[in-house]
Amino acid sequence: MSAEAHDLPGWRGSWLNRLIARPGFQSWASKFPLTRSRARADGAALFDVVQGFVQSQVLMALVELDLFRRLRAGPQSAEMLGRACDVPEDRMQVLLQAGAALGLLKRKRDRFSLARKGAALMGVPGLEAMIRHHKAFYEDLRDPVALLRKPDETKLSQFWPYVFGGDVDAGDAAIYSDLMAQSQRLVAEDTLRAVSLKGVQHLLDIGGGTGAFLEAAGHAKRAMAMTLFDLPPVVPDAQARFDAAGMADRVNIVPGSFREDALPEGADAISLIRVLYDHSDDTVRALLAKVYDALPPGGRLIVSEPMGGGPRPDKAGDVYFAFYTMAMQTGRARSADEIGALLTEAGFADVRSPAPARAYVTRVLTAVRPT
């Protein structure tokens, strides 16, 4: 095939995009019978992107005013809810109408109730807390071009100080540990769907916070010994979790930093749950080298976190988590292939990536230290 033939598809695509970009063509396409359905669908999808920031702020207002819980008891009017929330009735009507337009609420005559999606939002552990936490993220996204140019400081980098190493205030640790623990239940569910702990005698969870993943893993395999390794300020809450779960005799909590301290030994499997994407490639390489050394031959590694799509861009990984980690000023949402390459570089073999149940929650990679 000639070089000209190779270039033809790109030339055609470029020509077509220039045509589509003309306002006159858009007007014509929206009327012409053979193109109008596609043109109108593209227009609606594009407007959905344009108004996305308003949708997220409507959701924030619904959560901040606790309207999902208020409506759980039954339908209410804008007048009733406005009085309860100290919001003028006409403005509460606007908010409720917007919530219904987003499919979170339902309207029947002059009253509003929970829709299925609104009820589901309440059933997702940690989701409302994460929505409230977005206030810091929104500050960083107020000027996205400034964020892309790498400012000296961001709101999220102040919220997650642990990713830069060093000491972390106990109060700060409690805030972010609680936020992570609430959302970790979904991550644990999907991780344990994707991997089997069959044959694992001792699981070491690095950076496991207050132990939400280890608690779920302990319920999945009741004879398994477990070790939690994380910063000293999270130890009391982790101990309280395992005491309440009746697992205190099965879990050894080791305080420390994987940046500075040796990893605990004796485990035949190690998990890194939402750890790598918080850190730079150099930090990840150093951590994976430590993990490799801490595992026996045949030992298993489990990596679970949101990931980018690589050649097939993914909305969750390449939009939300990519910009979130950018605002944190460290780490990034890597693709499964990129993480797999880092695992191979560290010496691991048999790298596998099971199909995710919910890619917006987490994806999983497994690897083995060769015998």
Asked whether residue 306 falls in the same domain as residue 357, the answer is yes
Provide the edge-to-edge strand list for the sheet that holds 269-273: 251-255, 225-230, 202-206, 269-273, 300-305, 363-368, 349-352
Assess if residue 41 is contained within a domain.
no
Q: What is the pTM of this model?
A: 0.83
Strand partners, 305: 363
Closest Cα to residue 178, out of 232, 228, 126? Answer: 126
pLDDT of residue 60: 96
Provide the edge-to-edge strand list for the sheet that holds 111-114: 76-77, 111-114, 105-108
Q: What DSSP designation does 66 have?
A: T
pLDDT of residue 262: 95
Collect contacts of 64-70 with beta carbons under 8 A, ≥24 apart.
64/132, 65/95, 67/95, 67/96, 67/99, 67/105, 68/104, 68/114, 68/118, 68/119, 68/121, 68/122, 68/128, 69/122
Asked whether residue 217 falls in the same domain as residue 326, the answer is yes
pLDDT of residue 3: 40
Q: The domain that contains 223 carries what CATH number?
A: 3.40.50.150
Please, what sign has the CA dihedral across residues 90, 95, 101, 106? negative
pLDDT of residue 168: 46
Asked whether residue 116 falls in the same domain as residue 159, the answer is no
pLDDT of residue 272: 98
Q: How many domains does the chain have?
A: 2
Asked whether residue 150 falls in the same domain as residue 95, the answer is no
Assess if residue 345 is contained within a domain.
yes
Asked whether residue 164 falls in the same domain as residue 111, the answer is no
pLDDT of residue 83: 97
Domain that holds residue 324: 144-368
Instruction: Flag residues of the chain having pLDDT under 50.
Output: 1-8, 11, 164, 168, 172-173
Assess if residue 19 is contained within a domain.
no
Asked whether residue 73 falls in the same domain as residue 214, the answer is no
Q: The domain that contains 60 carries what CATH number?
A: 1.10.10.10
Assess if residue 84 is contained within a domain.
yes
